[in-house]
Amino acid sequence: MYACIDLGSNSFHLLVGEWKEGKIHILERCSDKVQLGEDVRATGIISSEAFDRGLASLKHFKKLMDQYPLERYWALGTNSLRVTSNAQDFIDAAASIGLEVSVISGVQEAVLIYAGVITELPDFLGNRLVVDIGGGSTEVIVGCGPQRLLTESMAIGCVAWRDRFFSDDYSDAADLSRQMALGLGAAREVFDTIATALSRVGWDEVYASSGTVKMLANICAGAGLRSKHIDYAGLQLLKPKFIDCIANGSDLPGLRERRRDLLLPGWCIMMGLMESHNIRSIKFSPTALREGMLDFMVKNQKTLQSMEESNLPDVSMAKL
């Protein structure tokens, strides 16, 4: 039995699973909105408030983990723990409550995200484009089956975009529309940097994962559009409703209140991605980094594959 902890820049996630009859069975899922990446772009540090929220979440996870006869766990930090000057302080504080945290690079994160997304997908002969929009970074991967053809980690995320473009108390619809245009343009510039390489590899279908993607897919479904899909035309059509939701506090079917602050930055990043790479429709993937972590742990136990060959932290450091 295994546990995986994903310490993202927006949310922390816990996944507990076991390998049974040739398949991974999920026993526990838990997520906490921590926003470890709050104000990181401006300050370069994890704020004291975010630090405390993060530790409280890990203590919660530790209590849940103690209820299971775990053989191993794996706790991985992503963008906020990659770029902040006090990241080691947080890692040390996590160790004091009994959780060893490793920090992975953006490319390593992308490797695990791709593995997690394809775990639930049917066999496919063509190329798949996989995108994960996180709080501080966005990972972009093209692969064919288990083989990755392109792996990129981009410095763009929904918490970072919120702090950059929507940190002020904008209440006027015109101001919000103007900020959305700025956020969209900046997002498009980021994704344009890999447009040539991405076009050269090519893809036949597109999947995207993460809470931001789930939020947008749920809103599209709530508006009567295709379920578990995000369509470019749909996001364009919904833009006035997004603005009205923030400017006037109107209801938006499919939007959870805890995600409201990431609505407009999420729209900017998704639209920037789709415009930069001429994507008309994206399928939502419910699996991502933590499922990839679990899959990787199980397969390493089964095949004794070297962690060094995979360029990933040694799972044995988290052995219980």
Domains and CATH numbers, the chain: 2-105+289-318 (3.30.420.40), 121-284 (3.30.420.150)
Determine the pLDDT at residue 303: 43
Phi, psi values for residue 38, rounded to 5°:
-60, 125
Q: Does the structure show a pLDDT above 90 at 313?
A: no
Q: Does the structure show a pLDDT above 80 at 112?
A: yes
Per DSSP, what are the bridge partners of residue 72? 2, 319
Environment class of residue 2 by beta-carbon count within 10 Å: exposed (0-12), middle (13-18) or buried (19+)?
buried
Determine the pLDDT at residue 297: 86
* 236: number of Cβ within 10 Å: 12
Closest residue by Cα to residue 282 from 236, 240, 237, 226:
226
Residue 172 to residue 222: CA distance in whole angstroms: 25
- 35-47 pLDDT, tens per residue? 999 999 899 999 9
Residue 29 to residue 64: CA distance in whole angstroms: 10
Residue of higher predicted confidence among 306 and 33: 33
